[in-house]
Copies of this chain bind each other. A is one copy, B any other.
């Protein structure tokens, strides 16, 4: 392969930042060109099908990050469940810049998203959900309880992002993540035990 002035990875990162902050329609080719450093026609060389190709690449890029940084450590690592969950929270805080940045699962699913994109986003959500369920059960939670908490956790993530963006309160997201960190694995059926701080 010939020399690319802009690497695939950093290109996807640049595009990601635009799409996550402005959404599909808000991410114009002019902006994407400006941010990536590639002219519009060059973007079409990299993504022959245009904007749709770019969104797809961004979603796959983020999906890969989600799996390697969040999901796999959650299920593969041999650490204590509490420890794994704490680490995940830290990663999540980083990923969303403590709540200052949006989530693709929200912004790209608004309006009239393409079916293919919708499916990819849905799959990412489900994968994350399943990983959280697995962790919950590993920590001794009842299967049903684990699922309820996992769903609720992901709802809190999305909701906290929306509310923080709405209020400009810098601590909303972090505060709620800390709350989850302390309560997510609490077992209601067994005598309450210490949770890692």
Contacts and interface: CB of A to CB of B under 8 A. Distances in A.
A163 interface: yes
Interface string A137-175: 000000000000001101111111011011110001000
A125 B23 contact: no
Given A158-B159, A159-B156, A176-B155, A111 B21 contact: yes
Looking at chain A's contact residues, is the secondary structure mostly helix, strand, loop, or mixed?
helix
Contact of A158 (B23, B126, B162): B162
A121 B162 CA distance: 12
Given A159-B158, A160-B155, A165 B109 contact: yes
B110 A107 contact: yes
A106 interface: yes
A98 to B, nearest CB: 16
A186 interface: no
A25 interface: yes
A162 B165 contact: no
A105 B109 CA distance: 16
Given A26-B111, A111-B21, A111-B22, A163 B176 contact: no
Interface of A: 21-23, 25-26, 102, 105-107, 109-112, 121-122, 125-126, 151-152, 154-160, 162-163, 165-168, 172, 176
